[in-house]
Amino acid sequence: MSAAPRFNSVRFAEAKVDVERRSGGEIILRSPQTLRAYPHQMGVHLRRWALERPNSAFLLERNQKREWRTLSYQEVLAAVESLGQSLLQRNLNDRPIMVLSGNSIDLAILTLAANYVGVPVVPVSPSYSLMSHDFGKLRAIFEITRPALLYAKEGALYSRALKALPLTHEEIVFSEQRVDDIPSTSFRALLTATPTSAVDQAFNRVDPDCTAKILFTSGSTGAPKGVTITHRMLCCVQQSIAQCWQFIEDRPPVVLDWLPWSHAFGCNHNFNIVLRNGGTLYIDDGKPTPELIERTVRNLRELSPTLHFNAPRGFDMLLPYLESDLSLARRFFQDLDVLFYAGAVLPQSLWQRLEKLSAKVRGERVRMVTAWGATETTCSATIVHFTIEKAGVIGNPAPGVEIKLVPSSDKHELRVRGATVTPGYWKLPDLTKAAFDDEGFYKTGDAGKLDDPDDPAKGILFDGRVAEDFKLQSGTWVHSGRIRMGLIAACSPLVQDAVIVGHDRNDVGALLFLNPTTCNAVVDGEALKPDEVLEVLRIGIQEYNVANPANSMRIARAAILADPPSTDHGEITDKGYINQRAVVERRAALIDRLYASKPGPDIL
């Protein structure tokens, strides 16, 4: 048997971890690296690159003619300082700016300018404005944050949402599509102010422990709540990433990214990696959906990224295009340092396909890496900075971070302490108090264990959510995360996601969300018929059950969900992650039918 192709060469920090084992089964993990000095705010990096590489491209986006609009570091800094002056003239004080629309150059400038002069920003998921029927979440966020200024790129697109808010004297800013019956300011008007010494003074006055952003959690683990993100948190986490991924400073990163800036992955991690290291960010107008994935593919035909960040769903939708077009695959892989996935465990089948394809077009495997964290930990609390060959390993604690593994049933909950952890939830003192243990560790609700107890440096293995596990009627624990990943892999590529059910039942069941692209695929010139899809699923479930015969692991019955997960009901986040609890609550009637004594013909 021939040896696997080598991995590409990148500079990682050595994999080491300090371990403290306590009586009672608790384990404390720490990085032996000391977190080195970091600036008081991210604007320091913008100033640096505007001075050292003024004409280098920083931000690019498609304009209405589908051409790239490009701004250099020098141009972005000039816009930021002008807009910062406009914000200071408005005397916003501690009242934040609320953002309704998605990623754009204008939003980047607004966010950078606000933080530059010490004004907090509240980026809200666009789905709360565009896909909601009652605007309930949007109104709740407005009420708790009380913004002084609201921004949306397209006025007409967001007019219904704005009219649903109890507006009084708040200023509304649009970049385009101004609306007659909504008094507003043009974004361009904010860029006309001439910066004065007040901008420099405000920049220097920013306290690293003051609020930079209020990020509302996506709801994958409960109702959205505002997480306070400080300037220190943003700067600390970028320094910790640079110390683990030493290659990040070897050349300016080039990134094409769609991940939303209303969530920690897209803004605190991806955007700020580019900014901190003087890179170039192509704002992707595509997304991993059947309607928009081809925009991403078109963009990738025009550039070669050095880093690629994605959610598992994104890799799932991108891979068929790469596999069917080796020219595209070569361009995609040729300059990559790492492929990064996060937010959910990448199915091993996708992992293997990515490695195989990179080896085919490049002659070596591009390294797969990940990190783990939460909005409450800025983004990454653990980082993979060593070779891994399987999904699930989430790395070791980042410099400046402590991870505590606390026994919970037959798992260990992951808890986090460090400078990258939030001081709390915005105006929710009771929830803040409940979120931390008596040692100041944030209780994530995620479970993890050492991949190799005899060699802790091999990293932590993600072990699902503590709260998503349940017991069968027999009292046997069911680890839903493990079952979910195994089932998705066995039914790949037809099943996009699965929700595992069976609490207080005799056996385990599954609710299946199908992948519409692969289920409608053409095989040998003909589209798959519904009964053929069902047969493939039956075979996949049977194969999974053969490998997992225990009653707490095998799938006794399954149902296909006819409609996609609902954003309004909190079943899915912007990044495509499923809220298991919300699905179970909303689909209770289907679960009852799933467990009926005489299941219907739609039950597998």
Q: What is the pLDDT of residues 321-348, one digit of tens each?
A: 999 999 999 999 999 999 999 866 787 8
At 402-413, the pLDDT tens digits run: 999 999 877 899
* pLDDT level of residue 54 (50, 70, 90 thresholds): very high
Question: Which residues have a Cβ under 8 Å from the Cβ of 314 and sit 6 or more positions away?
Answer: 258, 288, 576
Measured distance CA(470)–CA(237) in Å, rounded? 34
> For residue 70, what are the contacts with CB-CB under 8 A and spacing of at least 6?
57, 59, 60
d(C-alpha 487, C-alpha 504), whole Å: 21
Beta bridge partners of 436: 442
What is the pLDDT confidence band of residue 599, given thresholds at 50, 70 and 90? confident
pLDDT of 158: 97
CA distance 567 to 130: 10
Question: Could you tell me which of 378, 371, 382 has the C-alpha nearest to residue 405?
Answer: 382
User: d(Cα 120, Cα 125) in Å, to the nearest integer?
Assistant: 16
Distance separating alpha carbons of residues 467 and 563, to the nearest angstrom: 25
Question: What is the pTM (predicted TM-score) of this model?
Answer: 0.86
Q: How far apart are CA 62 and CA 285, in angstroms?
A: 7
Question: Which residues lie across from 497 on neighbouring strands?
Answer: 513
| ∠ CA 128-579-375, rounded to 5° | 70
φ/ψ (deg, to 5) at 452: -135, 100
Domains of the chain: 18-38+232-465 (3.40.50.12780), 43-206 (3.40.50.980), 470-594 (3.30.300.30)
Which of the residue ranges 145-149, 219-223, 288-292, 309-313 would you say has the lowest mean pLDDT? Answer: 219-223
Residue 202 Cα distances to 74, 83, 207, 272, angstroms: 20, 13, 10, 21
Helices 293-300 and 312-324: crossing angle, nearest 10°?
60
Q: What is the pLDDT of residues 251-300, one digit of tens each?
A: 999 999 999 999 999 999 999 999 999 999 999 999 988 899 999 999 99
Per-residue pLDDT, 125: 93
Distance of CA 474 to the CA centre of its chain: 37
Using alpha carbons only, what angle is made at residue 202 by residues 200 and 206, rounded to the nearest 5 degrees? 120
Q: Which residues contact 470 (CB under 8 A, 6 or more apart)?
A: 477, 478, 480, 502, 503, 504
